[in-house]
Amino acid sequence: MSNALTVSVPEGVPFIDFEREFDYPVTEIFRAHRDPALVAQWLGPRGVNIDMDHYDFRTGGTYKYTHSDEEGGSFTFSGVFHTVRENEFAVQTFEFDGFRDVVSIEFLTFEDLGNGRSKLTGHAVYPTLEARDGMASTGMEDGMNDGYERLEETLAKAHA
Amino acid sequence: MSNALTVSVPEGVPFIDFEREFDYPVTEIFRAHRDPALVAQWLGPRGVNIDMDHYDFRTGGTYKYTHSDEEGGSFTFSGVFHTVRENEFAVQTFEFDGFRDVVSIEFLTFEDLGNGRSKLTGHAVYPTLEARDGMASTGMEDGMNDGYERLEETLAKAHA
């Protein structure tokens, strides 16, 4: 098993790229992104509570959720889904209310690797280099790492 | 009057920036962006016909329209509005069906200049440098120039 998250922050362009493999078929990984009850179990770092206002993972749908941490911090995220193609591809906008109007756009590719395995590839694009650098310095990578581990745990529970 | 369109294509980052002033108050320029019947009169270069499938200029709304030119070409554009704040600000995604999944995000700022004048500032962000360069080489600037002239003509007619 080598399902490590790889994150790259290329110099000079406002992108963050990542990829990760999973020991689950692409249909399961997609379902964990589409079903709000499943998303609520994994999206975000360990130790935060998620309040899912709504999460409508379809072309033209919108989402909004709030993370609360143990120190009383509260962080709301919202956006729209430009494209969602089942088991294949999604494009969404993303805004953190702590940085109003700094909206990024994220491209997610779901790929079947065969043998019950799959791969998720992400390309996030920020409105400025500064916004990208700010995001990359927030511990985002740890949060994503936690999130995808929790996604696997969520699917493991669903299959138990 | 110096209401020229200024477009800049900065080297090395996937942005296109533009600005233009108008001899109309910000409320009128915003209305010309919100009302689909007005949008259909100006959006795009001269000589194209626009078929407005829908244009729901509000936070969480979506849009889709098709340009047809005299040579029989047909070009469909679609996206979602992440944010719309009246007379102030909008964020939208943008996709041309000729380049599927190459989705850009555009930030539009509406500004009151007083004396019945206003300014529109745009910041478009592309998923790759190549996509930005491709867009910049399509005659986009001429099309935008036409569009904003037609916007003024549309408002002049509405006031006649």
Length of chain B, please? 160
The answer to the question of residue B1 being in a domain is no
The answer to the question of residue A78 being in a domain is yes
Contact state of B125 with A129 under an 8 Å Cβ cutoff: no
Angle at the Cα of A53 from the Cα atoms of A48 and A59, rounded to 5 degrees: 110
pLDDT tier for residue A108 given thresholds of 50, 70 and 90: very high
The answer to the question of residue A88 being in a domain is yes
**pLDDT tens for each residue of A88-97:** 999 999 999 9
Distance from CA of A62 to the nearest CA of B (A): 6
**pLDDT tens for each residue of B55-69:** 999 999 999 999 999
A vs B, Cβ pairs < 8 A, gives: 69
Backbone angles phi, psi at B158, to 5 degrees: -65, -25
Count of domains for chain A: 1
- Assign residue A7 a region: left if phi > 0, alpha if psi is -120 to 50, beta otherwise? beta
Structure tokens at A41: 């179990």
Nearest to B125 among A60, A82, A127 (CB): A127
- From chain A, the residues in CB contact with B91 under 8 A are 93, 101, 103
The complex scores an ipTM of: 0.94
The candidate with the shortest Cα–Cα distance to A88, out of A151, A10, A30, A37, is A30
pLDDT at position B1 over 60: no
Structure tokens at A156: 């493991």
pLDDT at B160: 73
Which of the residues A78, A91, A109 would you substitute to probe the B interface, choosing the one with the greatest number of B C-beta atoms within 10 Å?
Answer: A91
Task: Name the residue of chain A whose CA is nearest to B64's CA.
Answer: A60
**pLDDT tens for each residue of A36-85:** 999 999 999 999 999 999 999 999 999 999 999 999 999 999 999 999 99
Element (H, E) at A66: strand A62-68
pLDDT at position A35 over 60: yes
What is the arithmetic mean of pLDDT over A99-115? 97
**pLDDT tens for each residue of A117-156:** 999 999 999 999 999 999 999 888 999 999 999 999 999 9
Please give the biggest Cα pair distance in chain B: 46
Domain containing residue A17: CATH number: 3.30.530.20
Backbone angles phi, psi at B143, to 5 degrees: -60, -40
d(CA A55, CA A93): 13
Distance from CA of B80 to the nearest CA of A (A): 6
Residue A121 belongs to domain spanning:
6-159
Length of chain A, please? 160
d(CA A80, CA A61): 6
| Amino acid symbol at A14 | P
pLDDT at B159: 78
Task: Name the residue of chain A whose CA is nearest to B105's CA.
Answer: A105
Question: What's the pTM?
Answer: 0.96
The answer to the question of residue A1 being in a domain is no
Backbone angles phi, psi at B10, to 5 degrees: -65, 140
The answer to the question of residue B84 being in a domain is yes
